[in-house]
Each structure stands twice: as C-alpha cells, then as structure tokens.
Structure 1
C-alpha cells in the first residue's frame, strides 16, 4: 500500500472533512468543463461572436477575482466553513440563472455571479483542509480540492457528450451545474470549524476537541501551544500585514505560482479543447467526444499526484510537470506550424493529453497546496486570497485573449508563447520555490522567514 494511503487510512475523520470541503472544487471544475462544450451551441443559439464568446468564458473569471479576495476576508471573519456554505448557495442560484439566460449579456452576468462563489471557494478550500490535516498526509489531502476540480471537469465533459444531440442542450448543461453547489452546502453542514480559526477566536477548548479527532495518537496540547505561540507572534493580520518586508519572499513565491499556473495556457486547453480539436478538422460532436480523453487523463494523473506529493515532494513534481507540458505546447505549435492536419491529425490530441497529464501531476495541485502551506497563520487567509486573485486574474487574461491571439498571430505562435511561459516557470521553480513536505505549517512559516514577535513589532512601528 502506498505510504499516503497507509497514513490516510489511520485517520478517516480527516479524510471525511477533506472530501466534503473539496466539493468546493466541483464548482470550478464542472463550470470550467461544461462551458467548453456548451459554447459550441451557445454561439449558434445566442448568435455569439468571438467577443461575446470570450466574455461568456471570462465573465466567471471576473467574478472569481472579486470572490477570491472577499473569500479570504470572510474566512477570517465568519470562518472557513460558513464561507464555503454561502459560496454553495450563491452558486446554485447563479447556475440556474445561467441556464435560463435569454441573451449573451444575461449569460455573462450570471457567470460573473457564479465566479463570486467559485473564487471564494478556491481561496478557502485548500486553506480549510490544510489546517485540519497532519503534515504526513497534507500534500495528498489538500490536493483533494484539485482532484475534485478534475472530476468536475470530467463529469461536465460526459454531460456535454450525453446531451450533444438534445434540444436546448446548453441550457441543460449549465443548469445541471447547480448540483455541485447543493452538494457543497449539504457537506458543510457536517464538518467542524478549523482548529486554527477557533484558536484565532479564543475558542481553545473547541479547537482541542477538533484536534483530538484529527490527530489520533498525537500530542494535541503540543500542537495547540505551537499554534498559540505563532498567533502571539503575529501582532497584525489582514492585507496590510502582507506589505511587511519579512513576508515579501513568501508573497513572491505565492504570486509567482499563481500566475505561472495560468500563463502556460491550461485553461485555454480546458475551456477550448473541443474548439482546438475543431481546428484539426473535426466536427463539433466528434471534438466533444475526443475531449473526453483530456478529462479522463486529468483525473487519472491528479490521483497519481495525490499519491506522490507526500512521497516525492511538491517541488520535484512542479518541475517535472512543467517540463512535460512545455514539450506538449511545442508539439502543438509544430502541429499547426507545419500543418499536420492531414498527415498526422492524431498528434494534436496526443499533445493535449500530454499537456493535461503534466499539468495534473505538477502545477495543478502544486499551486493550491503550496499557498496553503507557506504563509503565517495571522495572514494566511488574506495571503491565499491575494494569490487566488492573481491566479484568477491571469486566468481571465489568458482565456479572454486566446481567440484573439489565434486570430492575430496564429495558432502556432500562440502555443509557442505559452511554451515560453513554461520555460519561465521551470526557472522560477528551480531558483525560488522551496520544498515543504513532511513539515508542520508552523515550521514552514519559520523557515521561510516568518518574523518573531520582536521583529514584527519593529516593522509595524517603522
């Protein structure tokens, strides 16, 4: 039995908490996957041109930027748990509004509201899971969020495929998206508050009870004292605290991971994989069918990442995965540059599968996991929110301009540009990103330069 599964099986309560919280990943996963297929029919039904299509995709991302920032703040104010529950309710209402939209404008507005929920959940789910999970299994367990994202994408691809010949199919595709929100709301009714949030609020006895259930056989009092010590060192919290010089190296790592995860073009592949496959000469229905292989690969390799993150480490998988996706992007660029559509049409699909497999093993779970580990407790919610904002902002920029780039500089140069970003990412990971496996969140804080109380005081009075 792999070491992660052996350790995880000893703590079923943590697994239950993590899986229920990770339902928040379904919000983004389903909506991301479903729009890729629905877009092929929306553009005909609502007469949406390239600009309208770009906004239909990117509307969610605009909302997600605001949602991520608000989610981090709400997580500190009302708890991680209640923030996720509210996100689920908002998502249900917005998904139904999108299904009944009568114009491109209405659909864009509904997807912006969807984005509020998706952005908030994306910032809070990894934080919530990390704060419940022992160090030995934290890498795999926090990555349940990314696993749920990939499951949501695959389910959406399957629904797109099943409904491809049904009348008003895109409305059904979008309407079924309300279900992940329902699942999240129900799930949050059965999970406890984060022990670190409880300690922030002075509710030590409640925090002790939660830790006793998530740290079987371990010294709960020692961990409570460690959390309390870190809280005492953090004299300020929130966005202003992130400007302290001592936190800048951590913020550079977090924002760098956030931006690189998107500028390699992952969501152009996820949002537009059927569209990309139509560039190879496939009919829309056939393109949706072939896109299923991308969704299946995403899930399989995310499961592999869950098993490897606590064994191999985060940094090694980040580097290996980014090398793989850069090779895939160069292959796609060559496919379009040399017009292999007739002589080797299968190359494009192989490149897409290699790309998504490499992303799923490295940058996919690696970003969300590491930003839940590297920041001090007093600013963790705000810091993750800022990183999520940069992530969603880069997602918007790349997704919105994909079709315009293809029209402006061509398919080959577009994928070549993404490959260059992959090279930048490899250099960044080699030079800036530390390894964080098998270490408590408090140990990581101190090793990355989290200030002692005396330093903290000097910085605030400067």
Structure 2
C-alpha cells in the first residue's frame, strides 16, 4: 500500500501516510516529540509543588492560619491525588491514554482558577481537591504513555522525561514565588497559584492536535492498523516497528502472523477487566514485580525529598537564613539543581542502567541527609552564628535533591516498564496511589515531626529509610535496561535472584533464560 491514500485517525490525532517500507534515521525524533508532550503534564504537577513552598508563607499571613493548617493545605493534595490515580488506570484502559491526559489538563485548569480566586481557606482547599485529582491523573498517564510509545533504545531516557519536566515545573514555581513576592499580600499568592492555568491550556491543545494514541492501547482495542502506523512513526526502523507490533500482538493473545487492520478483542483485555484478580492471586513473576514497583514508590517519598522541596524555605530558616528574599532565592537554587541533575539521569538510564543509578542515588541521599541532620542539630544547640554551618546545610539540601534526581526520583516514572501490558495502567495506578499516600504522610507530618524529634532528628530518620531502601533494591531489583517491554516480565520471578547460584538473565533472542553470575 506504499504511496496509497493517507489515512486520518480520529483516535491518534494524526494523518498517517500508509507506508510499508523505507529507511528511518538511527534515532527516531517523533518518539521524542510524543514523550515531550506527554511529560508536559508533569510540569503542572511540579509547578504546584514548587509554588506552594513559597505561597504558603503569604497564605498563612493573609488567612491567619496555623502551622497545622499549612501542613494540611500542602500535604492533603497528595491524598486527593489518590482518587485521580485510582480513576486514571481504569480511564486510560477504557478511553485511551491520550484522552486521559486531556482530562488531567482540565482538572489542573479548574483547580488553578479556584485557588487563584479563593476568598477563604475552605474554598482554597476545594481548589486543592480539584488540582489533586489532576495530579493523580497526570502522574500516572505521563509515565504509562511515555513508556509505551518509546523504542527500547531510548526508553530509559524518554521515560525519565516526566521527572525532568516535573523538576522544570518546580523551578517555574520557585521563580513565580520570587517574581510575585513583591505584589501586595492579598494578590501575590493568588497570582502564584492562578497562573498555573496557562500551561494546562497549552497542554490540552497539544494533546488534541499533535499527540497520537499509544500503540499498545490501540492493539488492546484490536486496532492493529492504527497501531502499526504509530509504531512506524515512533520506532528507529521499519523492521523494529514490525517486531514491536508482533511482540505487542503476542502479549495480548493475537497471532503475530495476523495482518488484519481490525480484530475482535475480548472485553476483559480491551477494558482492563480481571486485572485485580491477577494482582490478588499473582504468579511469582507478578508478585516480584508488584513488590519491586511498590517499593520504588514507597522509598521515593519516604526518604523525605518532598519535605526538602515543599518546606525548603523553613529548612533554610532553621539553618540560619532570615531574609525572605534570600530564602526564596535559595529555593530557586534547589529547583535549578533538581532540574540539572535529572538531565544526568536521562542520559545515564540507557547507558549505565536503572539499578546502578538507584543504588548510587539512595546511598548519596543517606550520606547527605546524615550530614544535614548533624549540621542542623549543631545549629539548633548553639547560640553562636556559624556561617560555615549555614553553607554546609544549604549544600547538603542541594546534594540531597541532586542524588534524588539522579536515580530514585525518575525511577517512579520508569517503573511503568516493569508491568506487562495487560497490567500496566492499573499497576501504575496502584503504584501512584501508594506514592501519593506516602507523599501526603511526609508532607503533612514534617512540621510536626521536627517539632517532636528536632529538625536534625527528622533528617536522621529519612537517612535511615534511605539505607533500608538501598538494601531493598540491592536484593530485589534486576536490571531492565535494553529489554523490550514485552520481555521485561521474564526478568522477574525469584525474589532472591541476587543470591541465587544459578542467577537467570533474560536473553531476548531466545525463549530461555541465560545463566549469569550473581554479581553481574
């Protein structure tokens, strides 16, 4: 059908030339475009995180609210997000990844408007609820879509885009805090929160006009012809696109030799039914995947990175920085460092691998948090001002977020590659629910925690959790770099694989597993 009439797909949102052959560049650029658009939803999430760190200083003064109310205002959005994450898995299986992303943009738009015009604390909380639903949707769908559209050669790189754009959003939030800090008290924080509606409109327009549907979702609906065209546009070569299509068809239960453009798919597969039955009665491989993926989300949040971002002005105040402008400028530095070091992760995920970066990340965070805890403890117990200790504490906050961004931070999104296609959307939904609950716990307890055990003690606690996380991933997490999504499941099944004398590693060219050294 080369040279035939173009086909316009309402679902994909693109007009595809029906080509069957031809040369592709070594690295496909359209997959980068798709990943970039999908990851823009993370800018909205990041902006909310960053802007609230400064806006709460002015909201507290304007509405005369207590520290507990500030904790609730900041942290409750993570619990609200659990509703969005829980709904997004089912929505994306039923209506598609693309339309689910448009829904998330709609929630962000409405939430920003409500927060910007809120006349009191109650209506501000209502705006946080709506924005929280959008956060839940975006945190899931960005990772699932990016993973599914990326070729294996760049999947780690592209799957870390959501974390990269989240950090860009955090940085923009910090910049907005500083830019609007000179406005009158009752206007400044409203501009900080309300201006968030602008990127949501831009995202919705790009999703509708440019972004194609996930090829894996299209195959789950039996729309093989459309899936083939999307894969041709997003693969490094025609041969790779056909191999990816065959792998996806096989994973759904369609014969690889089937050449029909549309086939009938059982509703249990197309609508994601039966997923929770498989989660509740898992095979050894699925059990291993579930434990590992949930561990990623638990340790990403429980190590306190959210506290360092959301409460960075208060941490810097405890370290001895008293000027509001200086505190906000220091938070901008946090945003710059987070964004810079996620760029390191995007490059290294496909070169070094997921496992080494996670272990380096948690090890570095543990050392940084212990040092920060020591510095803050000395400052709290001393009446004498020590400039070098202030500098040390600021440096350790920056080092902590740098190590976070290099490994465990983006792995939250890359973890969607662990789940097989039939479980991916709702598996990530479960993971994001856990992530949001942990984020809410950390965000809503940090001020109370450091009041109870001192601020230094709080960071010692986070350091201990990071050490436990290092051991967890050293034991349980196998390397997934370079494997097609449909092959990743075969890497799992033995929880103690690292200590097995006949350690198994999947060879994608064979139906068997090859034996490797446990130290590999």
Provide the secondary structure at the position in 1 that maps to 2:183. coil
**Aligned mate of 2:232, from 198, 208, 212:** 212
1:228 corresponds to 2:249: yes
* Deviation by residue 1:211-267 (Cα, 9 ceiling, x = unmatched): 111114242333222111111299764323212221211100011110000000010
Give the aligned partner of residue 458 of structure 1: none
The offset of 1:124, in angstroms, is 1.0
How far apart are the structure 2 equivalents of 1:180 and 1:204?
Answer: 33
Q: Aligned equivalents of 1:379 and 1:47: distance in 2?
A: 47
Alpha-carbon separation, structure 1, partners of 2:457 and 2:25 = 45
Separation (CA, whole Å) in 1 of partners of 2:473 and 2:319? 34
Alignment partner of 1:280 out of 313, 319, 334: 319
Q: Which residue of 1 aligns with 2:206?
A: 187
Q: Aligned partners of 2:26 and 2:461: how far apart in 1?
A: 44
**In the alignment, which residue of structure 2 is the partner of 1:178?**
197
1:299 to 2:336 alignment: no
SS of alignment partner, residue 275 of structure 2: coil
| Structure 1 residue 446: Cα displacement | 2.4
Structure-to-structure mapping, 1:368-387, within 5 angstroms: 368-369=413-414, 371-387=415-431
Residues 199 and 105 of structure 1: CA distance in aligned 2, closer, same or farther (over 3 Å): same
Q: Contact conserved, 2:75 with 2:443, CA < 8 A, in 1?
A: yes
Which residue number in structure 2 is paired with residue 14 of structure 1?
Answer: 31
Deviation at 1:372, TM superposition (A): 1.2
Cα displacement string for residues 314-362 of structure 1 (whole angstroms, at most 9, x for unaligned residues): 1100010111111111111101221277212111110110001000001
Alignment of 1:266-345 (within 5 A): 266-281=305-320, 282-339=322-379, 342-343=385-386, 344-345=389-390
2:409 equivalent in structure 1 = 364
Q: Of residues 101, 111, 115 in structure 1, which corresponds to 2:128?
A: 111
Partners of 2:26 and 2:236 within 8 A in 1? no
Q: Which moved more, 1:335-344 or 1:83-92?
A: 335-344
SS at match of 1:372: helix
In structure 1, C-alpha distance between the alignment counterparts of 2:246 and 2:27, rounded to whole Å = 24
Check conservation: 1:8, 1:15, Cα contact below 8 A. Answer: no
Q: Deviations over 1:351-400 (max 9, x none)?
A: 1100010000011112210x211111111111000000000000000110
The residue correspondences of 1:340-355 to structure 2 (distance < 5 A) are 342-343=385-386, 344-355=389-400
**What is the aligned partner in structure 1 of residue 449 from structure 2?**
405
Three-state SS of the structure 1 residue aligned to 2:349 is: helix
Query: Is this contact kept in 1: 2:26–2:237, CA < 8 A?
Result: no
Question: Are the equivalent residues in 1 in contact too, given 2:76–2:444 (CA < 8 A)?
Answer: no
Look up the match of 1:454.
none
The 5-angstrom pairing of residues 5-84 of structure 1 reads: 10-84=27-101
1:447 CA drift (Å): 2.5
Checking the alignment, whether the CA contact within 8 Å between 1:55 and 1:108 is kept in structure 2 is no
Superposed CA deviations along residues 85-123 of structure 1, whole A, max 9, x for unmatched, are: 011011101111011112222212211110101111101
TM-score calculated relative to the size of structure 2: 0.83
Match 1:240 to one of 277, 281, 286 = 277
Q: After TM superposition, give the deviation of residue 427 of structure 1 in Å.
A: 0.3
Q: Superposition RMSD on alpha carbons, in Å?
A: 1.7
Q: Say whether the 8 Å CA contact 2:51–2:192 is kept in structure 1.
A: yes
Larger RCO (CA within 8 A; separation ≥ 6): 1
CA contact (8 A) 2:25 2:236 kept: no
1:444-455 → structure 2 map (5 Å cutoff): 444-449=488-493
Where do 5+ consecutive residues of structure 2 fail to align?
Answer: 1-23, 255-267, 495-520
- Is the Cα contact below 8 Å between 2:74 and 2:443 reproduced in 1? yes
What is the CA distance between 1:51 and its match in structure 2? 1.3
Q: 2:65 aligns to what SS in structure 1?
A: coil
The answer to whether the Cα contact below 8 Å between 1:8 and 1:137 also exists between their aligned partners in 2 is no
TM-aligned CA distance change 1:177 to 1:68, over 3 Å:
same
Distance (whole Å) between structure 2 residues aligned to residue 261 and residue 387 of structure 1: 11
Unaligned stretches of 5+ residues in structure 1: 1-6, 451-462
Residues 1:165 and 2:182 aligned together:
yes
Larger Rg: 2
Structure 2 CA distance, aligned partners of 1:104 and 1:449?
49
Residue correspondence of structure 1 range 255-270 to structure 2 within 5 A = 255-270=294-309
C-alpha separation in 2, matches of 1:239 and 1:44: 46
Of 205-214 and 100-109, the range deviating more from structure 2: 100-109
3-state SS of paired residue (1:166): coil
What TM-score, normalized by structure 1, do the two folds share?
0.93
SS in structure 1 opposite 2:319?
coil
Higher helix fraction (1 or 2): 1
Count of residues in correspondence between the two structures: 443
| Whole-Å separation in 1 of the counterparts to 2:119 and 2:76 | 16
1:425 paired to 2:484: no
